[in-house]
């Protein structure tokens, strides 16, 4: 059982940023409006995620550390209509199996929370814990019991860079949530709740706002919304392409190709635009779970998706002043 968790851990949590992703997605799924992420040593020494979401009862908190104990899947049919970010029930037990974890949680109907301490996936102590409603998860010594994985981690600077970029992707997708990020006791950012424009100003460029154009496109079976940048915002690589499918950040060849085609003649060859675009399509038309840690997707009709994105962005660009 514990071995299965450690094998799954190799799949799901390859590095600190992947741990942060799973924990923050759980916080989002729990309805949190305020999420704090703190790391030390690139997440190798400490990862802490604190949220004000629904929290868990003591029983549910204990259950959450068991494999496939997801609260988000109630039938096979749900697999086809995954509305939440997580659904596999593998993340917490996997992360716990390769770290020393303190999970504290309190639901609103309870006067106090419960704190569970586990080592390498074995629960060591469970006790009452005074806290606000929500959940706090502390992951220390990631991969302390899997030396091969431990060796695989890069420098603290590299790992914290990955965590920061991951948080930007998540924060851009949910401007309504307050996100704070602390790295080695220094506050990296506090993103106050607001709209997408203010999020972009926080993370991409304060001056971006004068050269951002709204996309609002709907066809049967697809909707495309967001903000696309004009010629003043180009980059030499694709790092400014923030594209999401059904709320998840993706990096996909079909999508990128359509975007870049739409910019032909608007920005110089070899330059890349900056944009934040949300594509919503029926879950039956896309497979986002090709791999839990990759950002690839598989479309049922990729040609159509390509054409819609091209039309949506191309339409905006053709109406803009340049």
Which residues are at the interface with Mg ion (CB under 5 A)?
26, 86, 91
The residue sitting closest to Mg ion, measured at its beta carbon, is 86
Nearest approach, Cβ of 90 to ligand ADP (angstroms)?
6
Nearer to ligand ADP, 151 or 291 (CB): 291
Contacts of 140 (CB under 8 A, 6+ apart): 45, 46, 99, 100, 101, 102
Buried b (16+ CB within 10 A) or exposed e, 178-213: bbbbbbeeeebeebeeeebeebbbbbbbeebeebbb
Instruction: Please answer whether residues 242 and 252 qualify as being in contact, where contact means their C-beta atoms are separated by less than 8 angstroms.
Output: no
Given ligand ADP, Mg ion, none, residue 160, with its beta carbon under 5 to 8 Å by kind, binds none
Nearer to ligand ADP, 95 or 259 (CB): 95
Nearest approach, Cβ of 48 to ligand ADP (angstroms)?
12
Given ligand ADP, Mg ion, none, residue 70, with its beta carbon under 5 to 8 Å by kind, binds ligand ADP
Nearest approach, Cβ of 15 to ligand ADP (angstroms)?
17
Given Mg ion, ligand ADP, none, residue 129, with its beta carbon under 5 to 8 Å by kind, binds none
Nearest approach, Cβ of 26 to Mg ion (angstroms)?
4
Nearest approach, Cβ of 89 to Mg ion (angstroms)?
7
Given ligand ADP, Mg ion, none, residue 266, with its beta carbon under 5 to 8 Å by kind, binds none
Nearer to Mg ion, 91 or 250 (CB): 91
Interface positions with ligand ADP (CB under 6 A):
22, 26-27, 30, 51, 53-56, 64, 69-72, 86-92, 135
Q: How far apart are CA 73 and CA 61, in angstroms?
A: 17
Rg (CA), the chain: 20
Q: How far apart are CA 67 and CA 72, in angstroms?
A: 13
The residue sitting closest to ligand ADP, measured at its beta carbon, is 86
- Strands of 241-245's sheet in order across: 212-219, 222-229, 275-280, 241-245, 248-250
Nearer to ligand ADP, 137 or 259 (CB): 137
Q: How far apart are CA 125 and CA 118, in angstroms?
A: 7
Nearer to ligand ADP, 87 or 213 (CB): 87
Nearest approach, Cβ of 126 to Mg ion (angstroms)?
21
Nearest approach, Cβ of 139 to Mg ion (angstroms)?
14
Burial group, residue 151, by CB count within 10 angstroms (0-12, 13-18, 19+): exposed
Q: How far apart are CA 153 and CA 143, in angstroms?
A: 9
Given Mg ion, ligand ADP, none, residue 42, with its beta carbon under 5 to 8 Å by kind, binds none
Nearer to Mg ion, 26 or 136 (CB): 26
Given ligand ADP, Mg ion, none, residue 120, with its beta carbon under 5 to 8 Å by kind, binds none
- Strands of 122-129's sheet in order across: 122-129, 113-119, 100-106, 134-140, 46-51, 34-40, 178-183, 186-191
Given Mg ion, ligand ADP, none, residue 133, with its beta carbon under 5 to 8 Å by kind, binds none
36 by DSSP, 3-state: which? strand
Q: How far apart are CA 275 and CA 243, in angstroms?
A: 8
Instruction: Please answer whether residues 142 and 16 qualify as being in contact, where contact means their C-beta atoms are separated by less than 8 angstroms.
Output: yes
Nearest approach, Cβ of 227 to ligand ADP (angstroms)?
29
């Amino acid at each position: 059982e514990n071995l299965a968790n450690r094998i799954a851990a190799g799949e799901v949590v390859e590095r600190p940023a992947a741990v942060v992703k799973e924990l923050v997605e759980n916080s989002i799924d729990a309805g949190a409006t305020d999420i704090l992420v703190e790391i030390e040593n690139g997440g190798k020494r400490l990862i802490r995620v604190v949220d004000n979401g629904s929290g868990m009862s003591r029983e549910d908190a204990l259950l959450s550390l068991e494999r496939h104990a997801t609260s988000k899947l109630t039938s096979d049919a749900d697999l086809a209509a995954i509305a939440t970010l997580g659904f596999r029930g593998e993340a917490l037990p996997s992360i716990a199996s390769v770290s020393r974890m303190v999970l504290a949680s309190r639901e609103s109907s309870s006067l106090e929370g419960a704190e569970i301490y586990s080592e390498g996936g074995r629960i060591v102590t469970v006790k009452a814990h005074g806290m606000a409603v929500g959940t706090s998860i502390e992951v220390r010594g990631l991969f302390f019991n899997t030396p091969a994985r431990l060796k695989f981690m890069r420098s603290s600077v590299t790992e914290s860079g990955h965590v920061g970029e991951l948080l930007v992707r998540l924060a851009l997708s949910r401007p309504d949530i307050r996100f704070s990020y602390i790295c080695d006791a220094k506050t990296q950012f506090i993103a106050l709740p607001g709209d997408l424009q203010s999020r972009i100003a926080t993370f991409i460029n304060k001056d971006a706002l004068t050269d951002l154009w709204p996309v609002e496109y709907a066809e049967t079976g697809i909707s495309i919304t967001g903000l696309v940048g004009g010629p003043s915002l180009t980059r030499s690589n694709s790092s400014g392409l923030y594209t999401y499918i059904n709320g998840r950040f993706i990096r996909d060849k079909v999508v990128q190709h359509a975007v870049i085609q739409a910019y032909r003649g608007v920005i110089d060859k070899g330059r890349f635009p900056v944009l934040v675009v949300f594509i919503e399509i029926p879950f039956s038309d896309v497979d986002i779970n090709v791999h839990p840690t990759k950002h690839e997707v598989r479309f049922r009709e990729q040609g159509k998706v390509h054409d819609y994105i091209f039309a949506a962005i191309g339409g905006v660009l053709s109406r803009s002043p340049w």
